[in-house]
Structure 1
């Protein structure tokens, strides 16, 4: 299996989908002998619901998962059990907060109006080709960073500047993928010797850590001066204001881990979802026509001849657009796979048996 995956490195998800279709929705990847690296791959909805909901506590991400993603710390989307419950408690309270929800809307609309639209208008006027995926990655980085740290790196502008943090995140993602493909002994040896892809990851980790540490230090200073209560309610401020958990400088690592984890989750998921959506729309002219008709019908009559930026309330009424987005997410999910390791032996609804030696 390993040679096949390496040969089709850039099409591994398509390869997995083809095998799943041929095997009825589930197949077993055998790892090296005595390496306990067997992986059961399934796309059966009942199995996914069992692992992610019904028997959730028996299927943590596992220590191996955290080891592979060590570049992004131990934040909400990487941690397990008690650590995960703590991060989820703070995150859930924050995400449900009315001020935070309004901040999210304000940041998104501002980034569309003052970031994305000017770049697209400039490209249109100059008859320039643009990389939509790159623009959406910049959009996701700026919006997510502003929401998490309260600071906008402004990577989405006419100059399209190189952003070391974004490049480091991209490089780290590639190396982490290779860790899932290579036998553990190979990439661990590379890490120990500081060679190959692991050498790239070492440099990327430093860039990521320095970026997050700078923001934590800045917010700490504002907190000590009593000026951290901003008009908004960014995620970093919420963690710093959590009195029970943060009483010493040792908590800086927790803050840094969460910045990296949340940026990883927010930046690439947003850009992937938007990229696939616009690609699908371009391949389906009838859908594009219906979306445009719905948008035109929703524009107030007095603004029919003007450029109009839809607000959250107006967008909530666009039923066809919402359905098209949901279908795009179903066909091309931004996070196409989840890895879990059972704590205890279990039998999935499909009848397949799993045990702690598998993923």
Structure 2
């Protein structure tokens, strides 16, 4: 028996030596120890799946370890992406050679739920839709409507909900991430459809339309890391996550179709524009082109695109903002100091101070967009949050014609590029040695008179709102919503993270929180400004 085992070991020794030598050969081809091993047949897939639970941070380590650029290959699966967070490459792709890097046909296939809407469109279709959306969103009527309804939603839903939890004698935690997603879903539905879905109510109702959007986002992410042939087969059979996608699309299409029908009936009944027509859908219908280009398909695709863009991005950003504030009381106090003069002025004029009937009788303060719009430190803190936790963690681009990037990498027609916004915010060569820290001051500068002002950062370096011709049209609207909501919550409530709760990014095309944001809230006592919530 011993002789047989010895003979077997001798027989296997050359094989073992070969495996060791071949593994060392594979390792020698790597430019960085952080770079995943590229295996025969499987490519980089073993490393990807081994780190799938921490994909964003793992990808960041890989890209940073390889100088900001990495060619990811999936072997025989056919998956092949060029990953970059190099600002010079981003500027080239998004601005200098914009026409050569569209979203591409594969993007439209993956994001088929968006139809022919602006986020899927390229070329003339994209330009035509962007002009229409820009005219609507930059108009004074819509800007006033969005600012007013955002403030009203904060006052009527968000503050009462938090007051209810703050008055809970048991001190039960709430998921602030879910709260903000519900808030921004209601806000966005009001602005896009003119409908308040009532997502953010005290009892946190299940809203099928909102649940459907969640299922869509989960599926869209999985399509990026699943071979197209496989997920298309699953879609055809309506199994797994693709089965949820099919059901979600039916729910979304049904809601949108019913809303379009009601808005057309409103137009016929009112025979003109009413106050309710300030929402996007009503505005599109009331200003339909004579050529009929605003048909139901166009309206469906446009509104779903705008909803996806507005709801989750703002809700996710607010969640990460309060997570960072809870860990950085210094920043929180500076924000309170910035808000204090506005509140003093408001109380002096006795305007915009409301009392919540569910509270103990103390006043709660809401803020108009005009009051918080020019707050330098609040804007800086939100920008710093988006630098570290961009709502869209990566961007997808295709290559039309052969090209050479500023980094020297050759791109061939048909190649696919993923620009990792999440990783760029953590690049030491881009943001300095404190790139991983939450430092709003990096966004603040002094002018010649010593007055604090916002420091400009180019969009190819701070790419949270895209860059170049496709820069986000809703950037100003997003900042208005975030400032109005953040200021109200910050001034009226102290937020504490539940000890032991793990906060980490979720695998999604939007930077959601995997486990939510479990917090406890209490009403602030501004008569004792120096009392620390964390000590109380």
TM over 0.5: yes
Matching of residue 290 in structure 1 with residue 334 in structure 2? yes
Matches within 5 A, 1:31-110: 31-33=74-76, 35=78, 37-110=79-152
The superposition leaves residues 138-161 of structure 1 with CA deviations (integer Å, 9 ceiling, x where unpaired) of 111011111011111111111210
Number of the residue aligned with 1:253:
297
Runs of 4+ in 1 over 4 A off after TM superposition: none
Distance 1:281-1:34 versus aligned 2 partners, 3 A rule: closer
Number of the residue aligned with 1:116:
158
Question: Are the counterparts in 1 of residues 148 and 368 from structure 2 also a CA contact under 8 Å?
Answer: no
The Cα shift of 1:33 comes to 4.3
- Pairwise CA RMSD of aligned residues? 1.9
Number of the residue aligned with 1:233:
278
The Cα shift of 1:32 comes to 4.0
Q: Give 5+ residue unaligned stretches, structure 2.
A: 1-43, 349-361, 417-536
**SS of 1:290 mapped into structure 2:** helix
Matching of residue 346 in structure 1 with residue 403 in structure 2? yes
Distance 1:331-1:211 versus aligned 2 partners, 3 A rule: same
Number of the residue aligned with 1:331:
388
Distance 1:217-1:7 versus aligned 2 partners, 3 A rule: farther
**SS of 2:241 mapped into structure 1:** helix
Matches within 5 A, 1:148-159: 148-159=192-203
Matches within 5 A, 1:214-229: 214-227=258-271, 229=273
The Cα shift of 1:223 comes to 2.4
Q: Highest CA radius of gyration, 1 or 2?
A: 2
The superposition leaves residues 296-330 of structure 1 with CA deviations (integer Å, 9 ceiling, x where unpaired) of 13223562795321212210232111111111111
Q: Distance in 2 between matches of 1:6 and 1:253?
A: 38
Q: Distance in 2 between matches of 1:271 and 1:170?
A: 13
Task: Report the more deviating stretch, 309-318 or 275-284.
Answer: 309-318
Distance 1:210-1:330 versus aligned 2 partners, 3 A rule: same
User: TM-score when scaled to structure 1?
Assistant: 0.94
Q: Distance in 2 between matches of 1:245 and 1:166?
A: 34
- Count of aligned pairs between the two proteins: 357
Correspondent of 1:320 among 373, 377, 384: 377
Number of the residue aligned with 1:8:
51
Correspondent of 2:69 among 7, 26, 30: 26
**SS of 1:300 mapped into structure 2:** helix
Distance 1:6-1:200 versus aligned 2 partners, 3 A rule: farther
Where is the helix percentage greater, Structure 1 or Structure 2?
1
Distance 1:53-1:228 versus aligned 2 partners, 3 A rule: farther
**SS of 1:340 mapped into structure 2:** strand
Q: Distance in 1 between matches of 2:206 and 2:87?
A: 41
Number of the residue aligned with 1:355:
412
The Cα shift of 1:2 comes to 2.7
Distance 1:139-1:86 versus aligned 2 partners, 3 A rule: same
The superposition leaves residues 146-197 of structure 1 with CA deviations (integer Å, 9 ceiling, x where unpaired) of 1011111111111210011111111111111111101112112212222222
Q: Distance in 2 between matches of 1:143 and 1:7?
A: 38
**SS of 1:339 mapped into structure 2:** strand
Q: Distance in 2 between matches of 1:238 and 1:355?
A: 43
Q: Distance in 2 between matches of 1:3 and 1:106?
A: 51
The Cα shift of 1:212 comes to 1.2
Q: Distance in 2 between matches of 1:228 and 1:272?
A: 37
**SS of 2:374 mapped into structure 1:** coil
Distance 1:245-1:180 versus aligned 2 partners, 3 A rule: farther
Matching of residue 207 in structure 1 with residue 255 in structure 2? no
Number of the residue aligned with 1:146:
190
The Cα shift of 1:224 comes to 2.9
The Cα shift of 1:239 comes to 2.2
The superposition leaves residues 14-69 of structure 1 with CA deviations (integer Å, 9 ceiling, x where unpaired) of 2211111111111011134494x421110011211221122212111111111111
The superposition leaves residues 246-304 of structure 1 with CA deviations (integer Å, 9 ceiling, x where unpaired) of 627x8211111111111111111011110111111111111111111111132235627
User: TM-score when scaled to structure 2?
Assistant: 0.64
Distance 1:34-1:131 versus aligned 2 partners, 3 A rule: closer
Q: Distance in 1 between matches of 2:213 and 2:290?
A: 28
Q: Distance in 2 between matches of 1:239 and 1:355?
A: 40
Number of the residue aligned with 1:175:
219
The Cα shift of 1:84 comes to 1.0
Question: Are the counterparts in 2 of residues 219 and 228 from structure 1 also a CA contact under 8 Å?
Answer: no
| Higher normalized contact order (CA 8 Å, seq sep 6+, divided by chain length) | 1
